[in-house]
Structure formats: C-alpha cells, structure tokens
Amino acid sequence: MISNPKSQILNPKSAQRVALVIQYLGTHFQGWQRQAKGRTVQEEIEKALSNVLDRPVTLHGAGRTDTGVHAAAQVAHFDATGPIPAGRWSKILNARLPQDILIRASASVPPTWHARFCASWRRYRYTLYTDSLPNLFVRPFSWHYYHAPLDESLIQAALDPLIGRHHLAAFHRSNSGRSHSWVDVQEVECQRQGSFIHIEIQASGFLYGMVRLLVGLLVQVGTKERSPENFTQLWVNEKRDQVKYAAPAKGLCLLRVGYPDSPFPPEAWFDTQPKFLLAEPPVPMPAP
C-alpha cells in the first residue's frame, strides 16, 4: 500500500525542466549560492521546492551574487516531476517564500537548457545617490556618495574603453575560483537622473567582485582624483595593487540575464528594477 504517493519515483516522461525569473533583496542574504553557514537565496528557494516535491531539489542559477547584492531578474532552473504545470510554479513558490524573495515568472524549458551555460550575457546596475541629505527610502539600494561632486561624463569616458574582450585581472579578487580574468564587455552606460547616477555594465560573464571594485575606482574618476586615461592604464597594465576599495554591495543589482531565445516575455525580466528619479526639491507652497 502506498502511503505517500509524492515519495515515489514517477515516470520519467512526467519530468520537466522549469526556469524561473527571480527577484530578491540582498540585504539579509549571504549571497546567492548555498553555503555551510548563513542565509542564502538558493537555499531558501530549494527548501520551498523540496517542500512541494517531497525530495531534495537543486536549483541552478545564471550567476552568483555576493553578500548584500540585489537581483531584479536572476534566472535559475530546476528539474521537477509530477503534474504541476511549469507556469504555476511562480505562484506556488511565492506562497512559500519569505518576503525578500519573489518569483516573477516560471516557464517550461527543454531538458538541455541551462540557466548558466545558455545565457549570452548578464547586466548589472550600480546606483549612486549624490544628494547632500540622506534619504531613508533609497538607502537600501544605493551608495550615498556626497563627499565630493561626481562628473558622470568623466565616468562614461572611463567606461568606454572597457567594451570588448579584455584581461581584467585588476578587478579580479584573489579568493575567486575562476581560473582566468578574460571578460567580454558588451555595453557600458553612465547616466545621471537628478541626484542619482546609474552605472550599467553588460558582459558575457563577470569576475567575482568585479563590478564593486570597478565602481570604487570610477568614483575616483568622477571626483577628478583620477583621470579616465589613468583608469584605463591601470586595468590595461593589471595594477591590482592600486584597486583598494570596493563600492558597497547595497548599490549593486543584477539587472537581467539574456538568452538567444528567452523562455519569458520581456515584461517579466527586461527592466524590473525601477530607477530612482528624484530631481531637485520642489519649491515649498506658501503658508495660508
């Protein structure tokens, strides 16, 4: 007599690979990847999946975000058996996940599809808040940099030479497991909108800690402490010893992951981290 049908091995024909678009607030996570100690995004979702499927489940992500880093559209996949349609997994998981994780969409993908290895690119956004006054509502998602004016045109000039395939050992942390420092940078962008500067970088893949180290140095360019040409020479000549400061994790967000044929509609993943658009303060209304 079968006491728990979910615990039985089902017909392989009923197995399916399911892809997820995932948002999370990185503030209280030790990063994406499961670890021996500390709360991680991967582990939280795997626990929810295992609870539904009544067996251990491994979730494979498109990339690994560091402690405190957010994600607007991380992508991951898992293998499921049973009658649940792929499109229903988003609602099922959201009912079981903590408030700082959200599944925006779920979809069926071919059995050979892989969230990491099928991805063509990843795009990150770093947000700087430059107003002299602090703001509680933007604090969790930006670096409040008010010590000196930042010139976004100089930052853009420093970013432009990064486009292409380069050996970026200057931004490669020593404790990374990656065996080389080659990165294919596809797009770079720096825009100011009111009190906010948004820096976006798109590449086929990223070195561990690369964006935060890069932004820490770009701030020196923005304050004119370092010229765009000096910035370029630093990474061209692999001067890792001169890259001393990483920007805070809370300003960084994995914006989206690109695939040749995305299994999701654009509205689920394309631009799901709203930009802060705080402009100059309004003129106070006269007292009645």
From 82-86, 98-102, 178-182, the region with the lowest mean pLDDT? 178-182
Catalytic residue among 54, 66, 100, 271: 66
**What pLDDT, in 10s, does the model give residues 150-173?**
999 999 999 999 999 999 999 988
Q: Is the predicted pLDDT of residue 9 greater than 50, yes or no?
A: no
Q: Name the residue with tokens 């070195």.
A: 207
Q: Can you tell me the mean pLDDT for 212-226?
A: 97
As a CATH number, domain 121-260 is 3.30.70.660
**Chain mean position to CA 155:** 21
Q: Map out the domains of the chain as residue ranges.
A: 14-109, 121-260
As a CATH number, domain 14-109 is 3.30.70.580
Q: Is the predicted pLDDT of residue 179 greater than 90, yes or no?
A: no
Largest CA distance in the chain: 80
Same fold, 14-109 and 121-260: yes
Euclidean distance between CA atoms 91 and 84, whole angstroms: 11
Could you tell me the pLDDT band of residue 5, with boundaries at 50, 70 and 90? very low
Which one-letter amino acid corresponds to residue 198? H
Average pLDDT value for the chain: 91
Q: Is the predicted pLDDT of residue 7 greater than 60, yes or no?
A: no
Q: Is the predicted pLDDT of residue 14 greater than 60, yes or no?
A: no
Nearest of 191, 185, 203 to residue 255 by alpha carbon: 203
Could you tell me the pLDDT band of residue 285, with boundaries at 50, 70 and 90? low
Number of C-beta neighbours around residue 60 at 10 A = 16
The pTM of the full predicted model, rounded to 2 decimals, is 0.90
The per-residue DSSP string of the chain comes to --S-GGGSPPPGGGEEEEEEEEEE-GGG-S-SS--SSS--HHHHHHHHHHHHHTS----EES--PPTT-EEEEEEEEEEEESS--GGGHHHHHHTTS-TTEEEEEEEEE-TT--TTTT--EEEEEEEEE--SS--TTTGGGSEE--SS---HHHHHHHHGGG-EEEE-GGG--TT---S--EEEEEEEEEEEETTEEEEEEEES---TTHHHHHHHHHHHHHTTSS-HHHHHHHHHTT-GGG---PPPGGGEEEEEEE-TT-SS-HHHHSS-SPPP---SPPPPPPP-
From 3-7, 57-61, 113-117, 145-149, the region with the lowest mean pLDDT? 3-7
Euclidean distance between CA atoms 288 and 78, whole angstroms: 62
**What pLDDT, in 10s, does the model give residues 24-51?**
999 999 999 999 899 999 999 999 999 9
Q: Can you tell me the mean pLDDT for 75-94?
A: 96
pLDDT at res. 180: 85
Q: Is the predicted pLDDT of residue 106 greater than 90, yes or no?
A: yes
54 as an active site residue: the answer is: no
Q: Using an 8 Å Cβ cutoff, are 14 and 90 in contact?
A: no
Q: Using an 8 Å Cβ cutoff, are 22 and 101 in contact?
A: yes
210-222 and 228-236 helices cross at what angle (nearest 10)?
150
